[in-house]
Amino acid sequence: MGAWFHRRALAGPAAWRRGRRRRPAALTTVTRDISHRAPLPAWPGGDSDGDRDGAAGAGAWAQVSGARSHRGPRADRWLAEYFGQTVEIRGDRCGGVDSGLRCGFGSHHGSTIAYVAQTGERTTPAGFRTATRLLGLAARLRLPVLTLIDTPGAAAAPADEAAGTGTAIAQLFVAMASRQVPITSVVIGEGVSGGALALASPDDLWIARDGYLAVTAPELAASILKLDVHDIPQVATWLRLTRPS
């Protein structure tokens, strides 16, 4: 079950019948035409992470390595290129703050768009609850939403489990599925497990040239299969974590 399968599954049965649609350069998706959705961001200018001598697309493990080897949060560059001005919200209104998740509202060519952006860190329960809060505000204000996905997964330390990681993810899934406004999602780096899927739009999901979406990380899959560390690149191939085409 690789990234290709998840993009199709999240897009719904209609996407299986329709097949691939024309897509912008450096991005791939299966999506329905949604009026009034957030305009799709372009790859940020001056970002050299995606074109390393063409090697990033050479294989599945190279794709995973490319998604991980970036300097600083990709979300900062994407947000800076996309929005002229932003106002952020912080906190889940339960006393928790996730410093690895950015939520707020931004101005794009005169329109206001809500956003949720992961910054390459594991998302905590407070982060998932903050994202759910953002979706509620966007619905009340009838604003489209842009989500930027970049995480190795949900935080799963004992303290995170005690704070309700599973419940927070489930609530965010429900909020995404019952959304009242259009949501556009772009996987800009790693997109691993439920921590990424919880922010993935069911019908407008894109993957940037250095991104990948997977049910689990190759290392964890190798561990589940009781394979050696040297088999991890092969597991990445089995997961079909190749560069979008």
pLDDT digits (tens, 9 = 90+) for 46-99: 454 444 434 433 588 888 888 888 765 689 999 999 999 999 999 888 888 898
Residue found by looking up tokens 């979406």 in the block: 213
Number of other CB atoms surrounding residue 21 within 10 Å: 12
Looking at residue 79, its pLDDT comes to 93
Q: What span, in angstroms and rounded, lies between the C-alpha atoms of 192 and 212?
A: 8
Give the pLDDT of residue 127.
95
- Measured CA to CA, the distance from residue 149 to residue 7 in angstroms comes to 13
Distance CA 71, CA 242 (A): 21
**What is residue 73's predicted lDDT score, i.e. its pLDDT?**
67
**pTM for the complete prediction?**
0.76
Q: What is the pLDDT of residue 175?
A: 94
234-238: which pairs have CB atoms within 8 A and are 24 or more residues apart? 236/59, 236/60, 236/61, 236/63, 236/64, 237/59, 237/60, 237/61, 238/2
CA distances from 9 to 4, 30, 182, 215 (A): 9, 10, 18, 12
Residues of the chain with pLDDT under 50: 1-35, 46, 48-57
**Residue 6, pLDDT score:** 39
| Whether the Cβ atoms of residue 169 and residue 198 lie closer than 8 Å to each other | yes
pLDDT at residue 45, as a whole number? 57
